Structure 1
Amino acid sequence: MSGKMCSGSTSIIQTRKLVDQLRVEANMGRLKVYCQEHRRSDPLLTGIAASSNPLKDRKTCLLL
C-alpha cells in the first residue's frame, strides 16, 4: 500500500510543479514584435496573390 502512496504523492508533486510552471508562463508579458515588423510580408496576414501562388492549380477544368 505504501507503493501506491508514493506514486500518488509523486504525481501530485509533478502536477504542482507543472501548474506552477504554467502559472509563470501565463503571467509573462508577451510582445507582438513579429506581427508588427513583418505584417506586410506575412502571407497569413495579407494573403497570397493568385498569380504568385505556387500551390494553386493552374489547369482549368472544362465540362463537355
Structure 2
Amino acid sequence: MDVYCSNNVLQARRAVEQLRLETELQRIKISAAAEQLVQYCQEHRRADPLLTGIAASSNPFKDKKTCVLL
C-alpha cells in the first residue's frame, strides 16, 4: 500500500509541475491566432497538395504498373 501512495504522490507532483509550467506560457488571443492561421494558409496555398493536387508523375502512391488478371 505504501508504494501505491508514493506513486500517487509522485503523479500528483508531476501534474502540479506541469500546470505550473503551463501557467507561465504566454498566450495569444484566439482572434489573433485565427488571423495568423488564415494568413499562413493563404501564403502557402500554392504549395498545398490538398488544394493543388499531386502530379501523376510525382505521386509516390500511384501504382507504377497495372495489374493484369488472366
Using the size of structure 2 for normalisation, the TM-score is: 0.49
Change (3 A) 1:15 1:62: same
Q: Percent identity?
A: 45
* Count of aligned residue pairs for this structure pair: 58
Give, as a single letter, the amino acid of the residue that structure 1 aligns with 2:44: H
Question: Which SS does the other structure have where 1:59 is aligned?
Answer: coil
Matched, 1:59 2:65: yes
Opposite residue 48 of structure 1, the aligned amino acid is: I
CA distance in 2, matches of 1:43, 1:14: 41
Question: Deviation at 1:35?
Answer: 1.1
- How far did residue 63 of structure 1 move? 0.3
In the alignment, the residues of structure 1 paired with residue 23 and residue 63 of structure 2 have an alpha-carbon distance, to the nearest angstrom, of 49
Consecutive unaligned residues of structure 1, counting only runs of 5 or more, are none
In the TM superposition, residue 14 of structure 1 has moved relative to its aligned partner by: 0.7
Q: Measured at CA, do residues 26 and 15 of structure 1 come closer, stay the same or move farther in structure 2, by a change above 3 Å? A: farther
Where does structure 2 lack aligned partners over 5 or more consecutive residues?
Answer: 1-5
Q: 1:10 to 1:26 in 2, by over 3 A?
A: farther
* Counterpart in the other structure of 2:17: 14
